[in-house]
């Protein structure tokens, strides 16, 4: 990478909150750049100090008696309630079908199913960062499930040619595309001509 | 995660966060409980950061209605505590958490913008960037920069308070 990472990105790296591909790029940069290594060390020390101060000064609270008070205050509901996990809605199915239809119109090799192993494509892109650009935007609600738990991963080559688009559900909530995530949609044009239409 | 586990994980930090905003432990406990009651009315898939947002709103309402200020202690007494924390007694265990240290950290947090304080407490409470981002309405990629700035502000505020405390201690001594 040519540019030095900003403080916020270093912070996200330290907190393991960067997408894997970006974290790899930054770590490689830190190996080569002593100045950024020093900045990362300083950021790590600052974060450790703040976290340690906040954690060790958190007062000890009698959680058991506090819980009993909550049960009484809630009329007993706290003792039985569980946070509801919202389910995938029919609206999401319609949205996904629409997305698949639109993608088909763009002549790509659309896929929910086979044809390509998206993880293999990602690994290949990570192995050859000079020849391709991997972007992992996570997370928003791309599948209409009413939850910001979907990622949009794109792979591009020189000349702004987008060759792979993956919509995935970030099951492990890692904030990046990893093994075990659900692939909702894949469109690949590994050997064809990428689409470049003007919207009319 | 069921409500009990969620409660055990976040309740102490929520109380501590609210205590910092309000300067009143009993009121902090009351509002932390209220945040959980509201969660029962609105079960969520990822409620961790949401609890902090609701707690912050409750604290703001409480301050408004009671005419409170976040900084509840007088500057003079705060400086005394800062001086005590800055110059620990010989032989004192530096790793031991003291009431003075807790007060210093809490008062320093109270001096920060509300979002900064919430970010720092949520991060220390291991709430993920994604949840924090969803709760405060920014992109997950914004959390790193916001957090880095909040940490810098916290360290600067802590340093200036400690320095002020030392100066006041010298002046009075």
**Which of A14-23, A114-123, B106-115 shows the lowest mean pLDDT across its residues?**
A114-123
The mean pLDDT value for A161-171 works out to 79
- Residue B146 pLDDT exceeds 90: yes
Q: Which residue has the higher pLDDT, B93 or B138?
A: B138
Query: In chain A, what percentage of residues exceed pLDDT 90?
Result: 20
Q: What is the least distance, in Å, from the CA of B123 to any CA of chain A?
A: 8
How far B21 CA lies from chain A's nearest CA (Å)? Answer: 14
Confidence of residue A69 (pLDDT cuts 50, 70, 90): very high
Q: Where are the domains of chain A?
A: 1-82, 90-188
Tell me which residue of A149, A132, A153, A128 sits closest to A140, measured CA to CA.
A149
Percent of all residues in chain B with a pLDDT value above 90, rounded to a whole number: 21
Q: Grade residue A132 by pLDDT with cuts at 50, 70 and 90.
A: low
Give the lowest-confidence range in A97-101, A112-116, B9-13, B100-104.
Answer: A112-116
Using CA atoms, how far apart are residues A153 and A161, in angstroms rounded to an integer? 14
Model ipTM value: 0.71
Chain B residues touching residue A19 (CB < 8 angstroms): none
In sequence order, which ranges of B23-88 are alpha helices (DSSP H)?
25-41, 48-66, 75-86
- Taking only Cα atoms into account, the Rg of chain A, rounded to an integer number of angstroms, comes to 22
Which residue of chain B comes nearest to A50, CA vs CA? B151
Whether A111 has a pLDDT exceeding 50, the answer reads no
**Three-class SS state of A147:** coil
Q: Which of B113, B117, B21, B29 is nearest to B69 (CA)?
A: B21
Domain ranges of chain B: 3-172
Task: State the pLDDT at residue A66.
Answer: 92
Q: Which residues of B touch A68 (CB under 8 A)?
A: none
Cβ proximity of B10 and B49 under 8 Å: no
Least confident span in A63-67, A109-113, A175-179, B21-25? A109-113
Helix (H, G, I), strand (E, B), or coil: what is residue A62? coil
> Rounded to whole angstroms, how far apart are CA atoms A6 and A1?
13
CA-CA-CA-CA torsion for A104, A105, A106, A112, nearest 10 degrees?
A: -10
pLDDT at A110: 39
Q: Which among A12, A58, A147 has the least Cβ separation from residue B16?
A: A58
Contacts of A79 in chain B (CB under 8 A): 4
* Alpha helices for chain A (secondary structure H): 7-14, 20-32, 34-57, 63-73, 77-80, 90-105, 118-127
Look at A138 and A98; give whichever has higher pLDDT.
A138
Residue with tokens 């093994």: A179
Tell me the pLDDT tens digit for each residue of A167-196. Answer: 888 877 777 777 777 877 777 665 555 566
**Among A2-11, B59-68, B99-108, whose mean pLDDT is lowest?**
B59-68
- Would you state the structure tokens that stand for residue B80, as one six-digit string? 């005394």
Q: Does B50 touch chain A (CB under 8 A)?
A: no
State what percent of residues in chain A have pLDDT above 70.
Answer: 65
For residue A24, pLDDT over 70 is answered with yes
Cβ A94 vs Cβ A144: under 8 Å = yes
Q: In terms of C-beta density within 10 A (0-12 exposed, 13-18 middle, 19 or more buried), how is residue B71 classed?
A: middle
Q: Which residues of A touch B124 (CB under 8 A)?
A: 50-51, 54-55, 58
Question: Which fold does the domain A1-82 belong to in CATH?
Answer: Arc Repressor Mutant, subunit A (1.10.10)
pLDDT > 70? residue A102: no
Nearest in space to A161 (alpha carbons), one of A132, A130, A126, A127:
A132
Taking alpha carbons only, the member of B113, B133, B112 closest to residue B122 is B133
Residue B163 has pLDDT above 70, yes or no: yes
What is the DSSP secondary structure assignment for residue A182, as one 8-state letter?
E
State how far the Cα of A54 lies from the Cα of A59, in Å rounded to an integer: 10
In whole angstroms, give the CA distance from residue A135 to residue A141.
Answer: 17
Beta strand pairing status for A150-157 and A161-169?
Answer: antiparallel
Q: Rounded to 5 degrees, what are φ and ψ at B72? A: -90, -20
Q: What's the CA gap between A25 and A36, in Å, rounded?
A: 13
Q: Do B36 and A78 touch (CB under 8 A)?
A: yes
Supply the pLDDT for residue A59: 75
Say yes or no to pLDDT of B61 above 70: yes
Q: H-helix or E-strand containing B140?
A: helix B140-172
DSSP collapsed to 3 states, B84-105: HHHCCCCCCCCCCCCHHHHHHH
Smallest Cβ–Cβ distance between A82 and the set B3, B36, B147 belongs to B3
Confidence bin at B67 (pLDDT 50/70/90) = low
Q: Would you call A175 and B130 a contact, using CB atoms and an 8 Å cutoff?
A: yes
Residue (of A170, A152, A154) closest to A121 by Cα position: A154
Q: Do A78 and B3 touch (CB under 8 A)?
A: yes
Of the candidates A6, A17, A66, the beta carbon closest to that of B129 is on A17
User: Which of A15, A55, A78 is facing B129, going by the closest CB pair?
Assistant: A15
């Amino acid at each position: 990478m040519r540019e030095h990472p900003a403080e916020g990105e270093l912070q996200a790296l330290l907190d393991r909150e960067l997408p894997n591909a970006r974290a790899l790029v930054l770590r490689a940069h830190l190996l080569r750049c002593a100045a950024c290594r020093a900045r990362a060390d300083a950021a790590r020390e600052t974060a450790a100090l703040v976290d340690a101060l906040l954690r060790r000064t958190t007062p000890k609270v009698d959680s058991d008696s506090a819980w009993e008070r909550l049960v009484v205050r809630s009329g007993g509901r706290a003792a039985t309630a569980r946070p509801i996990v919202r389910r995938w809605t029919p609206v999401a199915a319609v949205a996904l079908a629409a997305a698949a239809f639109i993608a088909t119109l763009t002549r790509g090799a659309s896929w929910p199913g086979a044809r390509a192993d998206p993880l293999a494509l990602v690994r290949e892109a990570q192995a050859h960062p000079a020849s391709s650009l991997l972007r992992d935007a996570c997370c928003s609600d791309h599948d209409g499930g009413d939850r910001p738990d979907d990622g949009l991963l794109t792979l591009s080559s020189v000349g702004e040619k987008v060759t792979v688009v993956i919509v995935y559900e970030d099951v492990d909530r890692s904030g990046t595309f990893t093994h075990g995530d659900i692939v909702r949609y894949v469109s690949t044009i590994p050997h064809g001509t990428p689409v470049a239409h003007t919207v009319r | 995660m069921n409500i009990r586990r969620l409660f055990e994980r976040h309740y102490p930090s929520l109380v501590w966060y609210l205590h910092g905003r309000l300067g009143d432990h009993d009121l902090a406990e009351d509002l932390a409980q209220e945040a959980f009651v509201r969660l029962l009315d609105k079960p969520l898939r990822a409620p961790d950061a949401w609890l902090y947002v609701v707690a912050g709103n409750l604290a703001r309402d409480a301050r408004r209605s009671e005419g409170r200020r976040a900084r509840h202690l007088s500057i003079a007494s705060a400086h005394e505590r800062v001086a005590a924390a800055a110059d620990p007694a010989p032989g004192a265990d530096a790793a031991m958490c003291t009431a003075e240290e807790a007060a210093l950290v809490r008062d320093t947090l109270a001096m920060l913008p509300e979002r900064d304080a919430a970010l720092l407490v949520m991060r220390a409470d291991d709430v993920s960037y994604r949840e924090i981002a969803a709760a405060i309405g920014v992109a997950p990629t914004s959390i790193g920069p916001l957090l880095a700035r909040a940490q810098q502000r916290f360290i600067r505020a802590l340093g200036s308070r400690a320095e002020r405390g030392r100066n006041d201690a010298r002046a009075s001594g």
